Amino acid sequence: QSQEVSQARIDYHVALQALQEHGTRMVCTGKMHTDRICRFDYLCYCSEAEEFVFFHSNSSVMLPNLGSRRFQPALLDLSSVEDHNTQYFNFVELPAAALKFMPKPVFVPDITLILNRFNPDNLMHVFHDDLLPAYYTMKQYSDLDDEARLVFMEGWGEGPHFDLYRLLSSKQPLLKEQLKNFGKLMCFTKSYVGLSKMTTWYQYGFVQPQGPKANILVSGNEIRQFARALMDKMNITRVKETEKEGGSAEDEKEKEKKDDYIVVFSRSTTRLILNEAELIMALAQEFQMRVVTVSLEEQSFPSIVQVISGASMLVSMHGAQLITSLFLPRGAAVVELFPFAVNPEQYTPYKTLASLPGMDLHYISWRNTKEENTVTHPDRSWEQGGIAHLDKEEQDRIQASKEVPRHLCCRNPEWLFRIYQDTLVDIPSFLEVLKEGMKTKPSLKKAKVASMVHPGRVREPKCQTSVQTSNEAKLTVSWQIPWNLKFLKVREVKYEVWIQEQGENTYMPYILPQQNYTFSENIKPFTTYLVWVRCIFNKNLLGPFADVLTCRT
């Protein structure tokens, strides 16, 4: 149907002439293939060759012009997973004159975002690797709006969560397989290729054991805005949170408390909680709350989100379904259960998410430490943790091991064996961990009042010096408040002063409540000091240092 649309909406001959005359134009951001996104005019795709094609003409543009470095290892990552060698993007070059000998191109008029989904079968990967990055890539380039066309080039079928991808734009996303239907040569009038990695917080262990990314750039604010946008698209209203924000009267709080509930997210095929009913009873009794269960096998995704968005606590086995904690209201608790011999500290995608600044979720993990409470599945397929294919010796070693050692992704049989165990949750130890964990639950009020605003630079920093005796001197440093402070209500404003004797490599730090101070201890006559001053709001919001002062006594 799109072919008809395209022919109706753009003048075919004008487009063809533009391609023939101007060729392809590419302008990219990013110094490295790992942080690059490229914008193209007239990027083409040859479905027979399964190659993107760049047509050179006198007015084509290729920036960066990397020459053959374009293949070392690639122009860019097509998925949000960093430098994965199955996710590289490149194109083949041809002179525009070659078009004469090629099938007639079909033009795609939509502004297109071309990307690879990393693992569309797994809900965690769907959100972390695809939906969040695509959502914010589209925010980065304003012409990637609700009318944008998404093209998924990883080559998989729709997968079980395709409806979620449909929420990103009003147009049906295209799969690689479907590009054939558009003819042998299709040309995207305007397209972007690649995904922003700005929102990802986890690395899956391809080069070092899995863990939080080294430099996380996303905060709870962006995750929550994305979550709200998705909920709007799913027509879900988060009743609970708006009430919470509005009401403050005691009786309202009481009423609200009656509505509080716990969600147990259950898995029905693998990594089971064997005594789920008992666990639910224990939770209900302990917290005097309703407990509801959800599972991907039994509810639609929107109805699950609806339930989770009003919950006070989400309890689940480690697994992809826990990504739905991004829909929890602020102040809720995430309780993640781990099977025997799996160390929670080493598998932290959900802990990292819950702990992002501004996510305001309370994370608690529990692990099964009783081997008699685990049910292993050595005879299953290797993907589901079976170990029957291994040497007897290796099988015995794995069976005897009490903790999975650190390992790389993704086919470590000991890891798979342990993570696919079913667990009989020991209720007393579970409640103990939960009660202990809830003691340190940060009050939401505190988190809310704590502002996100950082101080500006202190202004007009000055120093004055005087020499008292041959071995005593004074150094007075003064400054004005940061410009933004006069517009803010800040609970605590302090200043930090660093004093360094020129040529030394250590410095003395001071925290001061006022805007000037005279230092006399450790200040020597006829010496040059370097002095830095910055402002600090509420103990941990650091401002920038003002320009360094050079002060000679």
Footprint on this chain of ligand UDP (rule: CB under 6 A): 122-124, 267-270, 296-297, 319-321
Residue 422's φ and ψ, nearest 5 degrees, are -95, 155
Nearest one of 45, 40, 183 to 106, comparing CA atoms: 183
* Interatomic CA distance for residues 360 and 388, integer angstroms: 44
Comparison of 297 and 521: residue with beta carbon closer to ligand UDP? 297
* Interatomic CA distance for residues 455 and 536, integer angstroms: 7
* Interatomic CA distance for residues 550 and 552, integer angstroms: 7
| Contact yes or no for 79/89 (Cβ under 8 A) | no
CB of 432 to ligand UDP, least distance (A): 26
CB of 406 to ligand UDP, least distance (A): 18
Tokens 């969600």 belong to residue: 263
CB of 223 to ligand UDP, least distance (A): 19
Comparison of 105 and 386: residue with beta carbon closer to ligand UDP? 386
Nearest one of 433, 430, 401 to 417, comparing CA atoms: 401
Comparison of 23 and 349: residue with beta carbon closer to ligand UDP? 349
CB of 265 to ligand UDP, least distance (A): 9
CB of 440 to ligand UDP, least distance (A): 28
Tokens 């993007």 belong to residue: 89
* Interatomic CA distance for residues 423 and 373, integer angstroms: 6
CB of 188 to ligand UDP, least distance (A): 31
* Interatomic CA distance for residues 393 and 239, integer angstroms: 56
CB of 304 to ligand UDP, least distance (A): 10
**Tokens standing for 371?**
């081997």
Nearest one of 216, 232, 2, 204 to 135, comparing CA atoms: 232
Comparison of 106 and 164: residue with beta carbon closer to ligand UDP? 164
Task: Tell me the residue length of the chain.
Answer: 553
In 3-state terms, what secondary structure has residue 365? strand
172 HSE (CA, 13 A, CB side): 7
Comparison of 15 and 311: residue with beta carbon closer to ligand UDP? 311
Tokens 């079968």 belong to residue: 121
Q: From residue 169, how far is each of 18, 113, 221 by CA, in Å?
A: 28, 11, 22
Comparison of 133 and 349: residue with beta carbon closer to ligand UDP? 349
CB of 321 to ligand UDP, least distance (A): 4
CB of 190 to ligand UDP, least distance (A): 34
What residues contact residue 520 under an 8 Å CB cut-off, 6+ apart?
468, 472, 473, 474, 475
Comparison of 124 and 164: residue with beta carbon closer to ligand UDP? 124
* Interatomic CA distance for residues 485 and 482, integer angstroms: 6
Comparison of 115 and 416: residue with beta carbon closer to ligand UDP? 416
Comparison of 256 and 383: residue with beta carbon closer to ligand UDP? 383
Residue 277's φ and ψ, nearest 5 degrees, are -60, -45
